């Protein structure tokens, strides 16, 4: 039988001779049958296990009827909350409504509700009373405990409580889904399936097994110290080898998280990516111009999962985990060869990577066999002595892909971990990268250059980034290439004062770089940084830190990073004056901005006696008054 899209309507069921589906998947994203979309992976995997599966994508959530168009499933409804958090999808960091959605037809917004895990579950329960409901995907995964919600500015329940779902599958989900599906098919009740790793369920009793108990939802809501303590219990138990069961009381119920599911083996991962995906969006979206999110991934290869980088603002530790696993070279080569058959393929593989492109194996032998160290990081504050830095296999993979007939170029765009690359004393891969796999610009993520902010971000020091830039420039010069670095930068991260933002602005001045875009820190569930933002505490040390929260200061920090823009001039001047850095207002080479003309100065009261003078910094002037309690990284205690 010719491979086709999975059923999305009654006629599809008739054509396939299906009287009743085994499983129904409801997706917050449009139906894209590609391995970069979680709902497609889970659906194809269930199909490969012999189950019948249908997909209802982005249904009208105002009534139950669109959820019912494929009939009542025999075993369960599985709700995929999407590749991207719905609240991030819908709102900017300043909580303004977005006008587009790359995971919806034609890029239109409005095809999914806020918090679809909650909304969809309620409609499904209404449509199919008694049918088990299992929720998964990024949004559900990161909200499995009591969590701070930036958009409501309050601590919300576990999504399991708010939605009424029977179970959460957290993490990548393949192994959990297969086990749960088989057990449901064997007649087990969903309420009796309580021992599957990588799942969360509700109970009125605490299991008689080794576990860690967080502070209750009620305590976390009232006490920020208890919230931070609870977060670290959750954070430190996200490894499948060393992690334990974690429980948290919500009213008279217990949210129980089983330890994380182990990562897929290479053979299992190869199998997942060899499933018969159509490789594109469902043809029903063609009239609206398709699904924009497919453009970057259609001719890209996912080579790995997991990341031991541990950036504080990233939720990967909570979702994919720190253990890096990867596909075999032959699996990737076969997928690349298949790409070349597509009539739209122009000869360019856009990316070969994952969360971090140049991570293809665990950080050390111990991580691969026993998991990640619970209280140590691989790259922060410096590289672990056991870290194995080697790009040989990744370089070989890129070379083999480049030699496939019809492939003109293989690019790396998903993010090179520049510190890991810098620690590699062998320049062979660095040279190969610059010569063959960069399209004029290499995007990397230093995020900041103030060591104070970098500490809270869990990022390497400024010197590491400068060494990377130096080597990149040197290699390109030897190759006779004019290629540039495009750094991702973040403003207003917890711990960042105006003085820190000025340090970054001066760095941009000295390197003559003007960022087109700057990301304001965006507090999302499941990250260390969000815990810092809400509590004003670094949960790693339980010390207080400064958090820029006011709209004015966040705007000033952002403006400092784009100080050359005329529309930011007044705000930059205001920030510099507030920080006591008026030496940077003037006409000298070191100055960031010129002073405002008298008529444009909101404080001008007539006369221009001092206009245009060179405001050089006076001795003793310029100490930052904002964030004093953070000037020693928020402590009073000496750091190691």
Region 487-491 average pLDDT:
96
Nearest to 419 by CA among 395, 446, 397: 446
As a whole number, the mean pLDDT across the chain is 92
Beta bridge partners of 302: 353
Question: With bands split at pLDDT 50, 70 and 90, how would you rate the model's confidence at 639?
Answer: very low
Instruction: Note whether residue 35 is domain-resident.
Output: yes
Instruction: Note whether residue 133 is domain-resident.
Output: yes
pLDDT at 614 over 80: no
> Whole-prediction pTM value?
0.90
- CB contact at 8 A, 453 and 496: yes
Residue with tokens 């059923």: 7
**Structural domain ending residue among the three candidates 182, 201, 220:** 201
> What local confidence, expressed as pLDDT, does residue 318 receive?
85
pLDDT digits (tens, 9 = 90+) for 198-215: 999 999 999 888 899 999
* The token pair that represents 70 in the structure block: 């494929």
Q: Which residue has the higher pLDDT, 193 or 600?
A: 193
Instruction: Note whether residue 307 is domain-resident.
Output: no
pLDDT digits (tens, 9 = 90+) for 121-141: 999 999 999 999 999 999 999
Instruction: Note whether residue 142 is domain-resident.
Output: yes
Instruction: Note whether residue 25 is domain-resident.
Output: yes
Beta bridge partners of 147: 156
Question: With bands split at pLDDT 50, 70 and 90, how would you rate the model's confidence at 2?
Answer: low
Instruction: Note whether residue 81 is domain-resident.
Output: yes
Instruction: Note whether residue 485 is domain-resident.
Output: no
- CB contact at 8 A, 107 and 58: no
> 3-class SS at 135?
strand
Rounded percentage of the chain residues whose pLDDT exceeds 90: 87
* The token pair that represents 551 in the structure block: 């709209």
**Structural domain ending residue among the three candidates 169, 201, 233:** 201
Instruction: Note whether residue 436 is domain-resident.
Output: no
**Structural domain ending residue among the three candidates 154, 171, 201:** 201
> What local confidence, expressed as pLDDT, does residue 634 receive?
42
- CB contact at 8 A, 358 and 421: yes
Question: With bands split at pLDDT 50, 70 and 90, how would you rate the model's confidence at 602?
Answer: low
Domain containing residue 526 = 494-640
Region 174-178 average pLDDT:
97
Region 224-246 average pLDDT:
95
- CB contact at 8 A, 243 and 260: yes
Q: Considering its fold, how many domains does the chain have in total?
A: 2
Which residues have C-beta within 8 Å of that of residue 467, sequence separation ≥ 6? 422
pLDDT digits (tens, 9 = 90+) for 22-53: 999 999 999 999 999 999 999 999 999 999 99
Cis amide linkage into residue 254, ω under 30° from 0: no
């Amino acid at each position: 039988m010719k491979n086709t899209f999975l059923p999305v309507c009654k006629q599809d069921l008739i054509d396939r001779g299906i009287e009743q589906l085994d499983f129904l998947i409801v997706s917050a994203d449009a139906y894209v049958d590609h391995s970069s979309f979680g709902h497609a992976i889970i659906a194809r995997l269930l199909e490969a296990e012999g189950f019948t599966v249908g997909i209802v994508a982005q249904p009208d959530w105002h009534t139950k009827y669109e959820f019912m168009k494929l009939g009542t499933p025999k075993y369960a409804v599985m709700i995929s909350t999407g590749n991207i958090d719905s609240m991030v999808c819908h709102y900017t960091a300043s909580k303004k409504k977005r006008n587009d959605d790359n995971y919806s037809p034609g890029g239109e917004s409005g095809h999914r509700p806020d918090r679809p895990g909650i909304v969809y579950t309620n409609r499904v329960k209404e449509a199919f009373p008694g049918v088990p409901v299992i929720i998964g995907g990024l949004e559900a995964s990161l909200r499995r405990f009591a969590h701070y919600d930036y958009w409501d500015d309050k601590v919300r329940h576990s999504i399991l409580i708010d939605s009424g779902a029977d179970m959460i599958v957290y993490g990548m989900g393949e192994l959990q889904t297969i086990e749960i599906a088989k057990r449901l098919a064997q007649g087990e009740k969903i309420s009796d399936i309580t021992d599957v790793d990588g799942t969360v369920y509700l109970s009125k009793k605490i299991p008689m097994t080794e576990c860690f108990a967080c502070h209750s939802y009620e305590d976390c809501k009232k006490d920020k110290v208890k919230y931070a303590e609870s977060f670290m219990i959750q954070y430190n138990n996200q490894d499948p080898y060393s992690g334990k069961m974690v429980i948290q009381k919500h009213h008279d119920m217990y949210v129980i998280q089983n330890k994380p599911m182990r990562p897929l083996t290479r053979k299992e991962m190869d199998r997942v990516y060899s499933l018969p995906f159509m490789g594109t969006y469902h043809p029903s979206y063609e009239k609206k111009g398709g699904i924009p999110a497919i453009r970057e991934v259609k001719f890209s290869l996912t080579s790995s999962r997991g990341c031991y980088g541990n950036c504080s603002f990233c939720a990967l530790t909570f979702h994919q985990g720190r253990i890096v696993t990867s596909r075999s070279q032959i699996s990737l080569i076969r997928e690349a060869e298949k790409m070349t058959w597509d009539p739209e393929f122009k000869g360019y593989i856009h990316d070969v990577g994952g969360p971090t492109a140049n991570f293809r194996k665990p950080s050390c032998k111990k991580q691969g066999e026993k998991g990640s160290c619970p209280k140590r990081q691989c790259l922060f504050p410096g590289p672990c002595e056991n870290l194995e830095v080697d790009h040989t296999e990744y370089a070989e993979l890129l070379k083999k892909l480049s030699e496939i007939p019809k492939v003109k170029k293989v690019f790396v765009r998903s993010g090179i971990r520049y510190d890991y690359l810098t620690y590699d004393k062998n320049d062979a891969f660095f040279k190969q990268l610059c010569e063959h796999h960069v399209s004029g610009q290499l995007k990397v993520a230093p995020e900041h250059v103030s060591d104070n902010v970098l500490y809270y971000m869990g990022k390497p020091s400024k010197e590491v980034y400068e060494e990377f830039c130096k080597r990149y420039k040197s290699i390109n010069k030897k190759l006779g290439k004019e290629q540039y670095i495009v750094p991702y930068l973040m403003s207003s991260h917890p711990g960042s004062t105006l003085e820190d933002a000025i340090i970054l602005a001066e760095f941009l001045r000295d390197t003559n770089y003007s960022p087109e875009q700057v990301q304001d820190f965006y507090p999302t569930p499941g990250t260390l940084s969000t815990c810092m933002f809400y509590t004003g505490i670094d949960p790693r040390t339980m010390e207080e830190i400064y958090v820029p929260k006011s709209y004015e200061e966040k705007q000033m920090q952002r403006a400092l990073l784009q100080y050359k823009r005329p529309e930011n001039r007044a705000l930059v001047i205001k920030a510099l004056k507030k920080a006591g850095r008026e030496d940077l207002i003037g006409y000298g080479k070191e100055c960031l901005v010129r002073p405002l003309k008298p008529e444009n100065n909101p404080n001008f009261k007539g006369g221009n006696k001092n206009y245009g003078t060179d405001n050089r910094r006076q001795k003793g002037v310029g100490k930052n008054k904002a964030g004093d309690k953070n000037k020693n990284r928020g402590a009073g205690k000496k750091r190691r």
